[in-house]
Structure formats: C-alpha cells, structure tokens
Structure 1
Amino acid sequence: LLPHSEVFCPMEDPVIRIPPYHYVHVLDLNSNVTRVEVGPHTYIRQDHERVVFAPRRMVMVPPRHYCVVLNPVVRGPTGAVLVDGAGQARLRHADLEIRLAQEPFPLYPGEEIQLPVSVSLQGVTPLQVVLADTALRLRALLDFTDEDGNKFVAGDEWLFEGPGTYIPRKEVEVAETLQATVIGHNQAIRLRARKECLDRNGTRRVTGEEWLVKRVGAYLPGVYEEVVDIVDAYILTDKKALHLRATRTFEDEQGCVRRTGEEWLVTQAQSEAYIPDVFEEVVAEVAVTTLGPRQYCVVLDPVGPNGQPQLGQQRVVRGEKSFFLQPGERLQAGIQDVYVLSEDEGLLLQALQTIKDVSEVVQGTPGVSGSARGTWEETEGLLPLPPKPPPSCTLGPVVAIPAQQCPEVALVQVRVVTGQTYMLTEAEELWEKELPPSVEALLAEARGDIRDGDAGFRSSSCLDAELPQRDRTRAVTYQVPHNAAVQVYDYRERRARVVLGPDLVVLGPGEQLTVLSLSAGRPKRPHARRSLRLRPDFCADIVTIETADHARLQLQLAYNWHFEIPEDPSALGRLFSVPDFVGDACKALASRVRGAVAAVTFDDFHKNSNRLICSAVFGFDEAGRLREQLRFAPNGLVVTSVDIQSVEPVDQRTRDALQRSVQLAIEIATNSQEAAARSSA
C-alpha cells in the first residue's frame, strides 16, 4: 500500500472513521494549528476544525529497508514529539532523518518522505548490500562523530568494504562503488594517489605518485587510490632481453639507483618475467646475437666494467658465443666471417695503436702494417689483436708466377721476383707496369691474342683500343724466337742490352723493348712493319727508272739479305742502330739502279739489264770483278743477291710499241718455222 493512500470519506462528514495504521491531519481554524489523529479511532469533527485529507496509511519500513524524512519532528529524550506553545509539532527544517525498520508511523505536519530517483514512490529504499571485493567510497557532507568516536569533517572520504550491509547516514553520501581488480600471474596493477595518503602497505604516497602492486589476487584500491592500468609482464628467454630507460631517478628492486635517462638491459638471468616499474620505460626488445664457430663481430662503444658505454672504444667478440648488445652498443658491419687462411694465403693488417699479438712476440705500432700467414683461421684483431679492428684488411693469395713486380712501399723501390712462389710482405704491394701500345701489340701477337702479322701492320690508335687487357702487375716476358734479336733499354741505368733468340726476356721495372718502325709494301711505305727476323730473308721493291733516251720503266726487284752477328756481345747494339734499315737499304739500292740505268739507252738496258743492275748494286772490287754482296757497315746488313722480277714501261705508248714489236717478232719466228717445215716436206 502507498504510504499516502487515503480511505474514502466525505470531508464534510462530521464523523471520521480512521482505520488501524492510518492517520489524518486536523486543522484547528481558531489556532491555525494542525494535529495528527491516528487510528483505529472514530473522530468527531468540531465546527472550528477541518480535516486536511482523508485517512492515509502510515509509513511502513520493512526489515533491511530505510526511508528518508525531510523536515523531521523534534523528539525528546523519551522519544516523544515536542510541541511549541501553540501545540504545533516542532520541526527540524531543512534537515533529514534516516528511519530504519520500525513500527508504522504517521507523518506529522511538515514532514515529507524524500523520494530518491532510483526507488519507487513508496519512499522506502532497500539497504545496500556490499559484496566481497567491493567497497563504497563515502564522502562526509557534514562534520560528525560516528558511534565509534571517529570524527569526520565535511569532505573526508573513506571506504566501506564488503561483505556487509551499509547503513546510510544523513551526513554521508555514497560517491561511487569500487570493484576489486584481479591481478593475475605475471601481471601488476598501476596505481596513482589522488592525494597524500598511506597505501595498504603503510607506505606514504604523495599526490600524483604512481606505484605498482604485484601481489597475485584481488586488490581493492584505497580511498585515495585510482587504478591507472594493468601492466603485463614481458616474458624473457635466452634469446630475448629487455632494453629499459629510467624516466626519473629511483631505486629499483635490486637496490640499484637508476638516474634519469640511464639505460640498462634485463635478461633471463635476472628475471624470467619482468614487469617494468612506473619509472621505467621499455625502449625495445633486444634479440640475442649469436656467433658461429667461424664468425666474429666488432662492438662499437662497448659497456665497461662500470656499466657505462666506453665511447670511441671497440671490442672484438669471437664465436662460438651468444650475447646481448648492451644499451648504446652497436655492431660494426654486422656479423662477419673469419678469414680462413690456407698455406698459400696471407692477411695484411694495420695496427691503430701500440699492441702485442696473442703470442706476445710481435709488437705493433700505430700506422705500421703487419702480415699473418696461413695455415690457420684469422679474425680482425687476432694477429695483431687490436682493441679496434683495422679499417681495411687485404686478403691476398700467394700465386706461383714466372715473375711478379713487388715495390716496397717504405723504400719506394720496385723489383721483379721470378721463378718462385712469393707472398707479399706488409711493406710491399703489386706495381703496374705501363707499356706503349706498339709493344702491347707485339706481346699480344706473341701470346696468340691476335693473328700473326696483324701487329706489324696496325696503327697505334687502333691497337690501343682493340687489344685484350693484360695483368699489368705481372712482369713483362717475351719469348725471343730463333734467329731473332730483341733490344731492351733500361731508362734507369741508361744502357741497352740485346738478347739473341731463342731466349726469354723478362723486363725489369725500368726496362722497355725497342720497337723498330720498318718500311714495307711495294713500293716501300715507312712505318708499316715493326719486326723482322735476323735470318736470311728477302724484300721486294718497285723502282721507277729512266734511260738515256728517256724511256721510263718500272722495275720490281727482290733483294736477299741477312745480318752479320758480331762475336763481341757489346757490339750487338749496332743491329738496332738504324731504326728503318729496310727503308734505308731499299732507298740506297734504288738510287744506285737509277744512276746506272740513266747512263744507257733503252736498247742497251733491254739487252743487258741483269748485268747492269747487279753491277750497280754490288759494284766491282779492285781487280775489276763483280762483288758477291753489299754490306752496310752501320748495322751489319748484308745484301747477297738481287732478282729482277719484272720490267714494265711506264709510258703507255712505249708499252704498246714494245708489245707490237714482241708480237711481230713472234710472227716472224712462226713464219720462218712454217717455211722451214714446208721445205723439209
């Protein structure tokens, strides 16, 4: 039933029957005072009285319920309602009163049932049951002292933790309902203090301070605590570590003081599951660096014994090993393979500071190079063992070669090593020897890179672009064939030597081959050939002559020649004293022939051409006999014979007349033979 439900009764009826647990308000019109009449009762209304409302049901508060009365009446020590001098019930205006389960009671004039929004119109509210792991955050609205003698001032807050039933007070309001946060394994709850307080462990916290609670189970935050977040732990393994940074100075769980900005690494050895503290920032998850048995790495800015990075330093780590890079460390060129040296290989190292190698025998000086020779395995820093690896290591194999040019860097000397297997020392490097294009062409012809004879007739500009590339660090060698000679000139010593074939010429660092530019072709053209043999050979030339009767003829002559080799080796240089001995010899012989033919007529030359040309070429001795050879003294060239291969008139009319004369002579001879045959027949 509603607390204000009314029993129908005419208001003008002088007799008012009030049922049990009902009441009415009667207004005295003379004193203007309203009083309460409760049932069961039959009330007879007087003429100066008026019933304000029909009988209403009293307010009934069942067990575990309560109601809030606005403007409650004032009661004495015995519980009786106090009235003023006019007989009106005294009220506590603007005050509230919480009434729990009790006998039904009427509302006195001025009293009202405050109806909360969340309850029914009856005005009776069930008491709030607070479960386990739940609490009510209460706030004091007025200053008061509770039943236990605790004093509260307005604004104070505290918790009512369950399980239990909360009995409301007029001085207290429920700010919010708090639920406990369940903390699982490898989890923590991050809390923040809303104001200065003591946490559940008795630690004093200041406003805005944050901390972690890692105890597994349900955690109910304190009255001035708020949950910021639930932090999950990072699972660390032997292949994963955690890179942390301090956001402010604090002392960690191990008792180590971490300063703002300091970075460190947490591995599985310290904790299998790590929960970062509130002042720790996770920078990254670091993967393990694993080196194989033949691998190494160079760590830049390694962490020293004091736990701080040693800026500018380097450290060599050799496998087989697994490790984590500390904060601030980094790898130079990543993980690298070791240098595996065989017995014919070496490693060139350069010391960057004064060190000793692992055998404590060789001492290194900054800037000085050293070499390590196989057979063994080498990493940067083993021999010598540098705190910093060398900026460059040259791995050079040892090759068995006929000759190799090795300049010593320190002494700036160039030498040729031949006939052995040689490994460069730390003070040596290979030197490239440059050769003229003409020499390159002749060497390529000797190696078979180009066709025989092509080198003698190609121009230098074409040869330089078309020749295959050779290894310029290898010593230049040339196999001198039989019956041939090679002149080698040393620009350092300023002397020349001649090598007769068959032999092998190995050029020194300052030596070059002498190339003769010879004339060739018919008629002879200068600079057309670059090599000839010493053996007997012939050369052909075309010479234009003119007789005394002005008949111009073209002769094709062939000369047999050879060189006279002196017995004194020091005199061999005269073989190369005339650069173009072919052109000079052909010019000299042609001059002799032209001079001799110019003194005779065409008819005499036609009849005695062989005798005339041979006498012009070889000349006569003191006894008047024809010489057998012509010798050129400067270079020992000897011409032994001359052959007239053809004689042709240059003038076309002379050529036609000579042809008609020959035809006429043939006809005359033919006719005479026919006549002789007829007469014999």
Structure 2
Amino acid sequence: MDRDRSRARAGGSDESIYRIPPFYYIHVLDQNTNVTRVVIGPKTYIRQDNERVIFGPEKMITVPPRHYCIVENPAIRGEDGSITLDQHGQVRLNHADQEIRLAQEPFPLYSGEVLKQVVSPLKVVTANTALRLRAILDFEDDTGTKKVAGDEWLFEGPGTYIPKKEVVVDETIRATIIRPNQAIKLRARKETLARDDTPRVTGEEWLVKKVGAYLPGAYEEVIDVVDAYVLTDKKALHLRATRTFKDQGDKLRRNGEEWLIKVEDAETYIPNVYEEVVGVVPITTLTNRQYCVILDPVGQDGKPQLGQKKLVKGEKSFFLQPGEKLEKGIQNVYVLGEDEGVILKANEAFKDEGVDRKPGDRWMIRGPAEYVPPVEVDVVTKRKAIPLDENEGIYVRDTKTGKVRAVTGETYMLTQDEELWAKELPPAVENLLQSHKDPLADRSDRSGAGGPVRQREKTKVVTFRVPHNATVQIYDYKEKKARVVYGPELVMLGPDEQFTQLSLSGGKPKRPNVIKSLVLLLGPDFCTDIITIETADHARLQLQLSYNWHFEVKDKTDKQEAAKLFSVPDFVGDACKAIASRVRGAVASVQFDDFHKNSAKIIRASVFGLDERQKVRDRFMFPQNNLIITSIDIQSVEPVDQRTRDALMKSVQLAIEITTNSQEAAAKHEAERLEQEAKGRLERQKILDEAEAERARKELLELQANSAAVESTGQAKAEAQSRAEAARIEGEAAVQQAKLKAEAARIEAESELERLSRARESETKYLSEQNTLEITKVKEMADIEVEKFRNMVSAIGADTIRAIAVSGPEMQVKLLQSLGLKTTLITDGSSPINLFNTAHGLIGANALQAPGKPHSTADSDDD
C-alpha cells in the first residue's frame, strides 16, 4: 500500500498533486466545511489549500464470487442505490449498524465506514451437516417468516450459507450415524416439534432408532449413542423403571418396578430413556445332580413373596427374576455312600415322610441314598465313617451327656449327638511325642528333646511306641490310678490319662532339668560326671568319672516293683550326687602321692565298698528305685591348684627330656650306620654303570659300520624297486580305470533302456485306458440317447407321433381343397419327378410332395 501511494505521488514534484491509479481512492477533508469526500481513480487530483488528504490512496475493496465482507457504519443509499448526503454534503451513515456485502464491483469505503471483517469465503454446508443459527434482531426471512431475537433454527446442507447481520452462527452440527442395533438419546432444550412431528417439552428425552443419519433439530441435543443389548438363550436383561411410563409392549411400568427382557421378547433390545439397565442376568442351569433354594421368589402374579423360599431341582434352566437370589448358590445333591451320612436340623415345623419335625430337631440320614434337603431343613454337616485299625482310635464326646470315650479298632460314624473331642496335652509332652529321636540316647551330652516334626491330630487317640528295654508311666486322673507299661509296647491314652514326664539331670558336671523324657530306659547304660576332690595334703583335683548302670526288674507283673522305678524323679542326679559324696569322703583321708598311685582302687572301694574278705564289691544298689551301678571308669584326673599343677608339669617335663635324649642318641647312631651303608652301595653302583657304558659304546660302533655298508648298497636297489613299483601301480590303475568306465557305460545303457521301456509301457497303458474310457463314454452316451428317445416316444405316444407326422400334408390338402384346386404338385424344383407311371395318381384330390424344401404351385380350373 505504501508502494502504491509513493507511485501515485511520483508524477509531480509538488506534494499537493495526487495521482490516483484505477480502483484506488482517497479521503479528502475540506477544512472550511469540515466535510470529507471520496475521490476515486484513475485521476490526478490537485489538492486545494483548504483541503487535506486524510486517507489514501487506498485500494478499493474487491469481493470475488462466493465471498463476503462486513462493513460497519455503512452509508445510507437511496432507492436507486446512490449515496445519500446530508445538508452539509457529508455522507449519511447508519451508525452502529452493519452491512454484509457479497460479490460486486470494487467499491471504496466512505468516511466513517469500517471494514469489520475482511473478505472471507462463504461457508459451505455439506450434506448431513447444519448450522445452528440464532437471531439477534427481529426480522423477516426470505420466505416471509418473522424471526424474533433469540429464535434458533437450522440451515441444513448441502448448500452455501449467506450471512445476515441479524443472524449469528452458534455452532456447526453434524449428523449422528445410527447403525443397526443402535439408537441415539435426545433431549429437548426447549419446547419444540421433533422431526417425527411429536411435540416435545423442555427437558424431555426420547430415542431415535431409525437406521441412517440423524441431524438433530435446533432445540435438540444428542446425549448419548445407545447400543442394543443382544439377548441369547443364556442371557436376559434386568431393567428398572425410573418413572411411570408405558414400555414398548404398551405395558404400564411404575416407578421403581423391575423386570426381565428375554430372547423370547426380543432378540436385541434398546432400553428406553425411562429404563435403567441394572445388569445382564445369566441363565441358571441345574443338572440332574444339582438343586438350589431361591429366596423371595416371584409368584404367579409377578409379585415377590418376601420371606419365603423355593426349592428348585434339576434338570432345569431358568432366569432369576428381579429381587430373587440364591441362598447358597447352586448346590450338589447329597449322594451318600454306605459309609456316609448327613446331619440335618429343622428350622421350622414340618412333616417329613410321616414324621413330625419340630424346630431344632436333629437327625441323621445314612447312605446309600440321594438326598435333597427341603427349605425347612438345614444341613449341619456331612459325616463320613472313620476306619480305625486296632492301633488307631478317636475321642468321641456325647453332646447330650458330655461323656468322652475312646473308640478303637472299628469303622465308626459319629451320630447326630456326637462330635470329635480334642485331647490337649502339655506343650512339653507334645514336643516329646512329635520327636522321632530318643531323648535318653546320651544322658551325659543330651540337652533336651528334638523339635516338633508334625502337628498332632488332637481328635485321634494319642499313641506312643515304648522302645525295647524301656518303660513309661501313665496316670488316669479320673480313676486316680497309675499304670506302668514295659516295652516294646504301643501305648494308647484314654480320655483322662496323661504321661508321667521325667526331668533328668544332664551335662558335665550334672545340671538338673536338662533332659526331658517320657520313657525310662532300664539299661544297661552309662553316664559321665565331673567332680572336684581334695586330698589329705590339700591337693585339689578334678575327676571325670563314668558310671555304668541299669535297673533291676525281677517281676514285671509286680505293680509295686514297677512303681519303684518312677519313685525317684531324677535318678541320674541323685546317683551322681551320692557317688560323688562317697568319693570325696574316701579321697580326703589319703595323701596326693597315694591317691596318684592307687586312684582307681580308692574310688572303687569308696563307692562299692569292701566285702568280708576286704575285696571291692562289684555293684552298688539304690534300693529306692532298684538302680544298680556296676562299674566306675576314671577318665581323667586334673589338679585344680596351680602349684600342684606346676609340680606335676615339671616332673613330667623332666621325664620327657630324659626320654627324648635317649631316643636322640639312638637315632643318631642309626643314621651314621645307614650313611656308611649307602656310600658303599653308591661306589659299587658307579663301577657297574661305567662297565655297562663301555659295552654300549662298543655296540654303537658296530652298528654304525653296518649302517654305512647298508646305505651304500641299498640306495641303488631302492631306486630300482621304486621305479618298478611305480610302473606296476600305474598299469594296475589304467586297467582298473578301463573296467570302471565299461561298467559305467553298461549301467547307463541299462538305465536308459529301462527308462524307455517303462515310458513305452506307461504310454501304451495310458492310451489303452483312454481308448477304453472313450469307448465306455460313447457306449453310455448311445445308451442315454436311446433311453432318452425311448422315454420321449413313450411319453408322447405312437398315435401322437403319427398325428404330428401326417399333420403337414393333411393340412396342405385341406388348404388346397378349400381353394378349389383339383390337382397339385409341390416340389422344390431340384428333384426330378417321374410322371409316366404316376400320372393317373395326380388326377384327383390327392397331393404329391417331393422331398426337399416345400415349394407350391397351383393350377386353376382355367389352366
């Protein structure tokens, strides 16, 4: 634009001269009258002194076809389209107004006019699209319809929308495609008339199910696209009414009512706007081995029977109605074997196969049988017979009397008034029962029983295998009696019996309550203890003693003698204490040297005592529990006092030193002797090796001489032999090669002959089979044609064929007779006719027809 302006002024040197090109204009202000006028080119304008160019040169506005622009404050035009001026000569304007200008000649903007919107293309509305228009001023459209400000309507495509100053475009609406088994949900924004001419109120919703493109109206809005639910034999639709209305079957549905839509009602179903889909209900299928109980069943009148139950047995398939639910799901029929049963409980009074049952009654049904419990009965539990061996058992409690008993050695099924009873044992006893190891295997080193291996079934009878040469004590708290069982034996505890647990001393030195055990081993066995003693000269020593012991049981049937075995709870600790006391008393009266020399005799005499002959006895017995100590072994004697330990160490070191020196001298003498013997053997071996080397050197020289002679005479011989061998090998190779070539030629010839023979045989066989097929085909076709002709003849009939054959000549004769002809000859002119012998036959009403294409000539009576 600036370039055009400079070009317009370039013609003159004076700034008052304006050269206005074509389709350009300027605004000139007359400063005397304060009126602005428009000067349009092409023109050379000379500005007066009282004038001033306030705008331009500016290019005119060009609106091409299918375009528009908006001019604000447009100039007022007359009826003939001319510009209207006021009394001052100023262009009159419609202030605050707008004018939409379409394609026209280029035009200038007058003073005060403003181009609000530049030239823009008109909006093209495609098919299935519309513009929602809204009136902002009252006006009448092209059809004479009066529009009020605020009205809305659609401009539907295809078409080109020409804008108006009274109308604004709110939005572009595109049609919604409705596919099969689909619908769209619409809502009215205000009272309107729908496309199906149905009046709709504000806020009303409805469905459109017609397949195709649907363009919503001006006061319609698409809420959602609803897909149809496909119903099958195994699915139904659960619906709920959100308000009272009539459904598609013209049935009145009240607000909150629920119902099912099945495949019998519709294969596909689109819910109404007042129908809420609660969910898809799958079919409930029962086999002939299943049943179910329905709570709150729906009656024949369609109303739920609240609080009632309904038993449904298989084989059956059904849908649960709204409000119905299964009590415990689909249950299997109770199939009871011979060793099975069910415990039943009546929850209301009813009559069961002639037996009156009251609420709370319990009874059992035993197999073999099939049982389906009615709705008045609850299945408490299912029982199965428990097979028990002679060494197995269970604890059974009677729920009416509370008595507990043990059942062993039979197959037993609990009745309706019995239950399994769990026998509790102390935790220490539980651990000892679950341990697989014998806790008394090593009483001196064992610190306790092993950990638990597996959990005990508390309802089973507690069993314990008493090992060989051992015993256990069992106490019955109900009878207040104890019994002792000797091994090997299997102990089975009654409901009120418990094991007597032994708590023995262990470790070195002995500590109480280290070993826990249920069994008491009768021995023989041993235990080790460490005691501290002091001699008469106050030498304190520490002894490690080992005792062999066993229990003496003369009569295992004697209950008093058996009870004595468990009379001392910790027999190990008591025995070790008693023996240690005797040893300390005996050692306290002797000197250290005497004890060091005669320690074994002193200790054995102090424990076992001396008999009448002053000899040490061979046993020491504890009469309280018949424990017998048979021997004592002194494993170690160590001084506790440091001075005594040092003196013993010094004497021991001196003895060790004397022994070491003597051994060292003997070893040295022996080493010197061995050294001299080795030197003699070495010298002798050296002389033998030199003699052997000389003999080997002599043999080497002889071999070298022989080798030189052989080398001189053998080279020529080897060359001659090699040439002869090479010639022989070459000849044999040529012979072998010729044989192989002949063999290869023979194989190729035989293979080619065999190939040709097989090819000829295959070709001959193929031609033979082809000829056979062709003959068969021709024969069968001939048979078909014969059969076809025979069937046609039989279907038409002989009389009909004869009538068809003679129908032509007869019709011709009748035709000629109708024409009044006496004699007729019909021929095609190419076949000769002998009339000498047949002329008399031509006279009359008969006609002759020669073979060939018919050609007729007729003679009248005149001829």
**TM-score of the superposed pair, with normalisation by structure 2:** 0.43
Distance 1:624 1:458 in 2: 41
**1:533–1:305 Cα change, 3 Å:** same
Structure with a larger share of its residues in helix: 2
Counterpart in the other structure of 1:441: 431
**1:300–1:670 Cα change, 3 Å:** closer
Shift of 1:431: 2.6
Distance 1:612 1:298 in 2: 91
Correspondent of 2:411 among 421, 427, 441 = 421
Correspondent of 1:563 among 551, 554, 558 = 551
**1:598–1:363 Cα change, 3 Å:** farther
Correspondent of 1:529 among 497, 515, 526 = 515
**1:325–1:343 Cα change, 3 Å:** same
Letter in 1 for 2:363: G
Correspondent of 2:581 among 585, 588, 591 = 591
Correspondent of 1:319 among 314, 318, 343 = 314
Shift of 1:274: 13
Please say if 1:371 is aligned against 2:360.
no
Shift of 1:590: 0.2
Identity of aligned residues (%): 57
Give the conservation status (yes or no) of the 8 Å contact 1:457–1:529.
yes
Gaps of at least 5 residues in structure 1 are: 1-116, 120-232, 675-681
- Name the count of aligned residue pairs: 432
Distance 1:534 1:641 in 2: 16
Render the CA deviation track for 1:621-643: whole Å, top value 9, x for unaligned.
56765433221122111112222
Partner of 2:521, secondary structure, is coil
Partner of 1:571, secondary structure, is helix
**1:673–1:322 Cα change, 3 Å:** closer
Shift of 1:583: 0.7
Give the conservation status (yes or no) of the 8 Å contact 2:231–2:269.
no
1:45-84 aligned within 5 A: none
Distance 1:259 1:578 in 2: 90
Distance 1:243 1:670 in 2: 109
Distance 1:476 1:643 in 2: 41
Distance 2:524 2:269 in 1: 100
Give the conservation status (yes or no) of the 8 Å contact 1:345–1:398.
no
**1:351–1:387 Cα change, 3 Å:** closer
Counterpart in the other structure of 1:547: 535
Correspondent of 2:477 among 450, 466, 491 = 491
**1:237–1:523 Cα change, 3 Å:** closer
1:207-218 aligned within 5 A: none
**1:243–1:658 Cα change, 3 Å:** closer
Counterpart in the other structure of 2:590: 600
**1:322–1:557 Cα change, 3 Å:** same
**1:456–1:323 Cα change, 3 Å:** farther
Give the conservation status (yes or no) of the 8 Å contact 1:316–1:389.
no
Distance 2:330 2:622 in 1: 75
Counterpart in the other structure of 2:618: 628
1:652-671 aligned within 5 A: 652-661=642-651
Render the CA deviation track for 1:258-298: whole Å, top value 9, x for unaligned.
999887889899x899999x9x9898786643211222111
Letter in 2 for 1:641: S
Correspondent of 1:387 among 365, 372, 376 = 376
**1:455–1:118 Cα change, 3 Å:** farther
Distance 1:443 1:235 in 2: 66
Q: Which moved more, 1:331-340 or 1:546-555?
A: 331-340
Give the conservation status (yes or no) of the 8 Å contact 1:316–1:388.
no
Partner of 2:498, secondary structure, is strand
1:448-487 aligned within 5 A: 457=446, 467-487=453-473
Shift of 1:441: 2.6
Partner of 1:588, secondary structure, is helix
Give the conservation status (yes or no) of the 8 Å contact 2:434–2:455.
no
Counterpart in the other structure of 2:305: 310
Greater radius of gyration (CA): 2
Distance 1:447 1:370 in 2: 47
Letter in 2 for 1:657: A
Shift of 1:244: 8.9
Render the CA deviation track for 1:116-141: whole Å, top value 9, x for unaligned.
x999xxxxxxxxxxxxxxxxxxxxxx
1:294-373 aligned within 5 A: 294-303=289-298, 308-357=303-352, 360=353, 364-373=357-366
Shift of 1:485: 0.5
Shift of 1:468: 3.7
Counterpart in the other structure of 2:286: 291
Distance 2:364 2:440 in 1: 44
Render the CA deviation track for 1:51-75: whole Å, top value 9, x for unaligned.
xxxxxxxxxxxxxxxxxxxxxxxxx
1:230-245 aligned within 5 A: none
**1:361–1:403 Cα change, 3 Å:** farther
Structure with a larger share of its residues in strand: 1
CA RMSD of aligned residues (A): 4.8
Render the CA deviation track for 1:406-433: whole Å, top value 9, x for unaligned.
2222222322222233222222222333
Partner of 1:446, secondary structure, is coil
Render the CA deviation track for 1:369-395: whole Å, top value 9, x for unaligned.
3333444444xxx25x343544x5456
1:153-302 aligned within 5 A: 288-302=283-297
Please say if 1:515 is aligned against 2:501.
yes
Partner of 1:442, secondary structure, is helix
Partner of 1:535, secondary structure, is coil
